[in-house]
Structures are given as structure tokens and as C-alpha cells.
Amino acid sequence: MLRYLTAGESHGHSLTSIVEGLPSGIPLTEEYINIQLARRQSGYGRGGRMQIEKDTARITAGVRGGLTTGGPVCLVVENRDWANWSETMSPGTDANTADRVVTKARPGHADLAGAIKYNHQDIRNVLERASARETAARVAAGTTGRALVEQFGIKITGHVVKIGKASASVEKLGVEEIRELSSGSELLCADPAAEELMIQEIDRTRKEGDSLGGVFEIIVTGLPVGLGSYAHYDRKLDGRLAQAMMSIQAIKGVEIGIGFRAGELPGSQVHDELFYDRVRGFYRNTNRAGGLEGGVTNGEPLVLRAVMKPIPTLYKPLQSVDLQTKDSYQAAVERSDVCAVPAAAVVGEAVVAFEIARAMAEKFGGDSLAEMKRNYDSYIEYVKRV
Ligand SMILES: Cc1cc2nc3c(=O)[nH]c(=O)nc-3n(C[C@H](O)[C@H](O)[C@H](O)COP(=O)(O)O)c2cc1C
């Protein structure tokens, strides 16, 4: 089974990811992971922290000579600001826990519910872990899954389709065009005219001391038919992908294919009709299902969308309450992102990559990449003969 764990606090020493179950022989380097970490940090609308963070991953186990060994892969992303936080965040009894105490709960964060749940007087114990800084560890781990699936020609593209009220129009673009156009964009947006409007929305919102959310889309191409299963709830790939996406901080909804629009259209405009041709085999002329039927990949591109709520920490204060005094106060901040939808899209790519890698490892097994490829090739041969 392919799985991962992350550990680390926002101002702790480092973030650690341990990935277990990767077959041996997958090409994996720090440079390859760092490309994705850098993408997570970019994007118009980010706050001051991005200048401090210049994330790089160190591979400390499980890779030798540029190839996975089959052992657990350990990835460490150091927090650059550790020098300024080592006294406050020290795990030892020497920690200055009276320093930088947080008692004011921020609306829209895990602060209040987390402090009550874990019996903390200092909300710092909650926010340090609940922070989206943790997504750096998830991008590092997810990128190992990406390295695996790329060996099978699977490509994962994330792009921003909406920020505030500005929407990209991408219906007429192919996935290659989307990939090319969005990769050259500051907002990871494939529609340059919409990107202009998005930038204007972000600038206006920043001036107003407010924040913005949006929607991003993940497209996965090159998938074989038959990943996931209809046979049991926790093997359904749609459910697993939705869980992975919803677990990203600030994600409030996930759609597959035409998603929520399916609720307003008649069935004849929702379901993809099936055809057969001697050369092409089975095919569909539409992909409204977004590549999944019954929790199983159907060979069409996987298309997922996720909505991110506006960043909850605002320059414009929101009403809140102090955990200890119970006094009300105005929650304001000196440094925060105004909009982090492009970064969330990169995190989305990573978590989807890992789920696809997991489904591939389940379907094709194998302790080495060579063994997995043999199993894959023989299955693809069988599919061609159906
Ligand atoms: C890439 C990324 C960056 C984020 N940056 C911030 C930020 O700068 N300030 C903030 O208050 N929330 C930020 N968030 C959102 C919060 O982490 C999130 O809303 C909070 O932890 C509560 O979780 P929930 O919204 O899932 O309920 C970010 C989220 C992501 C995915």
C-alpha cells in the first residue's frame, strides 16, 4: 500500500513527509520536487511570508543514485524563519512558551474549536499545525506520486478558472493548450483576458483590506481504464479524490466532470453516450462524467474542480472573542495572503497525483518499477483485445 504522513509546524524547525510503499527504480531528485515547491510559492496575491519561504526539499532516505530503493522516502523542508522562532517553538523544557502566546481566536480558522478540543490555553499550539504551511509537506509527498505516474505517461495539469467574479473561458482549449498557457501565467490561468480581470479584482480587494477565493481545475490525462473500484465505498476513486481535495485547507467543495450542473440538466444532457469503432475501440464523444463512472476511471481525462473560500485572515478586522478573557475584539492582521488560489491549485495537483499513484500501485502492484510496468503492459494488451 502506498501512503504518506506529514509532520511539522508552521514556525517549527521543518516539515517532514514520509512516503511508504513506492516501488524501487523510480527516478526521483530534490530538483524535481523543488520545481513543485517553487510553484506552490508563486502566484499574484501572496503575502509577506512567501518572501521568507524559499522552500527546498532534502531527500534524507529511500533514494540512492537518483532512484527510489523501495524503502520509505523521507523528505525534509526546513522552515527558513526557524532562527527567529527556536526559543518559542523549542520541543525542550527550555522553550519560552510564554512568548508569542495567542489567545485571540481568528474566525474562519481552526483556532477556537481546536483549542477547546485539545485543551490548549495558547492557540499557537493549534494554528502552528492547522496552517496551510503544511501544504508544503503535501506537495513534497505528492510529487513522489507524480514521479511514479509520469513513468506511465500520466500527466497532471492544474489551472485557475475563477477568482472572485472573474472567470476564465477555457471550453474551447485542449489540455495541452491549457497547460502551456497557464504555466506562463502569474495566476496559473489559461485565459489572459480573464487573468487581467482577476489581477484587478485582487488589487481592489487588497485595497479594501479584504480577501478572495476562487475555483481551480485539475485535469489528468493518460489514465488507463479501470483504476479504483465500484465494489466497495472506500475503493471508489471519486470518493478518494474528493477526500484528498477537501482535506486541503480552505477547500469547500469539489466537483467531478460537470459536477453541480448535473443537478439542473436532464439526463440526456448529462450522460456520455458510448460508441465503438474497430480502430478506436470503445469511445465517447463527450466527457461530462469527468473520466469516472461508478468510482472507476473510464479512460477519458479526469476533470476535477475545487472551490477555495477567501483567505480568513483579513486586514479589515472581523469580530471575534479572546479565549481567556472572553472579551470581544477586532481580529486584524499585519501579513497574510489576499488570494492563494494558484497555490491551492498546485497543492491540488499534488494530492491528486498521490491518489492516482495509489490507485496505480493497487491495480498494477509490483515492488519495482520494472515489475509494475510488466503488469501494466499486460493489462493494456488485454484491454486492447476487449
Ligand atoms: C495555499 C494556501 C495558502 C493559504 N494561506 C493563508 C493565509 O495566508 N492566511 C490565512 O488566514 N489562511 C490561509 N489559508 C487558508 C487557511 O489555512 C484555512 O482556511 C484554515 O486553516 C481553516 O481551514 P478550513 O478553511 O479548511 O476550514 C491558505 C490555504 C491554502 C491552501
Our answer on whether the CB atom of 313 is closer than 6 Å to any ligand 1 atom is yes
pLDDT at 52 over 60: no
Number of separate domains in the chain: 1
45 confidence band (pLDDT: 50, 70, 90)? confident
**What span, in angstroms and rounded, lies between the C-alpha atoms of 38 and 288?**
33
What value does the mean pLDDT take over residues 75-92? 95
| pLDDT of 158 strictly over 80 | yes
Rounded mean pLDDT, 368-378 = 98
C-alpha distances out from residue 180 to 36, 43, 146, 152, Å: 16, 16, 18, 21
Average pLDDT, the chain: 95
State pTM to two decimals.
Answer: 0.97
In terms of residue numbers, what domain contains 39? 3-385
pLDDT tens-digit profile of 199-232?
A: 999 999 999 999 999 999 999 999 999 999 999 9
With cell 472579551, the residue in question is 327
Q: Determine if ligand 1 sits within 6 Å of the CB of residue 37.
A: no
Alpha carbon of 4 to ligand 1 centroid (Å): 21
Pair 274, 282: CB distance under 8 Å: yes
Distance of CA 278 to the CA centre of its chain: 39
Residue 110 Cβ contacting ligand 1 at under 6 Å: yes
* C-beta of 311 in contact with ligand 1 (< 6 A): yes
Nearest CA to ligand 1 atom 13: 311
Query: Contact, 132 vs 249, CB < 8 A?
Result: yes
Q: Distance of CA 147 to CAs 68, 155, 255, 341, 379, Å?
A: 10, 10, 25, 24, 21
CA distance 343 to 321: 30
CATH number of the structural domain spanning residue 376:
3.60.150.10
Residues 284-331: tens digit of each pLDDT: 999 999 999 999 999 999 999 999 999 998 888 889 999 999 999 887
Confidence of residue 43 (pLDDT cuts 50, 70, 90): confident
Q: With a 6 A CB cut-off, is 249 part of the ligand 1 pocket?
A: yes
CB atoms within 10 A of CB 241: 27
Taking alpha carbons only, the member of 16, 133, 31, 136 closest to residue 76 is 16
Whether ligand 1 lies within 6 angstroms of the CB of 135 is answered as yes
Q: Cα of 212 to ligand 1 centre, how many Å?
A: 11
Does the beta carbon of 139 sit less than 6 angstroms from any atom of ligand 1?
Answer: no
Q: How far is it, in rounded angstroms, from Cα 212 to Cα 198?
A: 10
